[in-house]
Amino acid sequence: MSKYLQVFKISLEQEFAYRLNFIMWRIRNVLQILVVFFLWDSIFYFQGRELFGYDRDKILTYVFGLIFVKAFVLSARAQDVAGEIGRGEILNSLLKPLNYFKYWLTRDISSKSLNLFFAVIEFGFLFIILKPPFFFQTNPLIIFLFFLCILIAMFIFYLIVFLVNAIPFWAPEMSWGGHFLVTIILVEFLSGSLFPLDILPQNIQNILNLTPFPYLIYFPLQVYLGKIEGLLILKGIIISVVWVLVLWFVMNWIWKKGLKAYQAYGR
């Protein structure tokens, strides 16, 4: 346990070693939130307007909720694994007395803690500047379920990232390409980080709900806003847990195959 604690500390210090890098990354997050905020603010400009099942308070809470949920779920260091495999550097890590998955999970948690800390500051800053109406959830059970959904979402994202990381075992030149397609394009649109998915037609929503993507951002925020209740929450949690299990088994299977096929180019 203590070695993972050390990994956590070193990883945190490493983030601070490249302070400008980190600050720039957070500035990028703020800019992305600003675009989404103003887009929805202009749509709900007229007071009392209800659209796609949202009023102004709820849609702007959704936007502000994105700051937190994205910091919890989408901030991760594990994307670097694909590069390690592509360059052959993973061999160094595999020789060490560490569980490779736990090692990267610890690094991810360190990245999430730091991002979350800054997300709180950004939230306060944007809240003071933009003065949005905000929907405060007061039901403790809903708040508990919201955090449970976030925890599951973190595991789903971690497993998706590791699945994409496995591509360079067979195609080392694809270190970045896989992440571009899956963890940037698909996650950005299908997770609800640009817009709440319920603006899409119902049949598209039904298909999307069977994929793991909506359970990353959209579903936890729907739970927080109280737009999903009772059995529907349970159904969503069950589907997302099933996705964790499926992705876990697939990821293990792919990684075993990948390590056997790996030729450690560049070493």
Contacts with other proteins by CB under 8 A lie at 20-21, 24-25, 27-28, 31-32, 34-35, 38-39, 41-43, 51-52, 171, 173-174, 177-178, 180-181, 184-186, 188-189, 194-195, 199-201
Query: For other proteins, which is the closer residue by CB, 24 or 121?
Result: 24
Query: For other proteins, which is the closer residue by CB, 142 or 181?
Result: 181
Asked if residues 106 and 11 have their Cβ atoms less than 8 Å apart, the reply is: yes
Please give the Cα distance from 170 to 174 (Å, whole number).
9
Asked if residues 175 and 86 have their Cβ atoms less than 8 Å apart, the reply is: yes
Query: For other proteins, which is the closer residue by CB, 35 or 121?
Result: 35
What is the dihedral sign for C-alpha 254, 256, 259, 261? negative
Q: Closest by alpha carbon to 152, among 90, 196, 215, 230?
A: 215
Min CB(195)–other proteins separation in Å: 6
Min CB(84)–other proteins separation in Å: 18
Query: For other proteins, which is the closer residue by CB, 109 or 190?
Result: 190
Please give the Cα distance from 153 to 169 (Å, whole number).
26
Min CB(39)–other proteins separation in Å: 6
Min CB(239)–other proteins separation in Å: 23
Q: Please state the length of the chain.
A: 267
Query: For other proteins, which is the closer residue by CB, 34 or 148?
Result: 34
**Distance spanning both ends of the chain, measured CA to CA:** 31
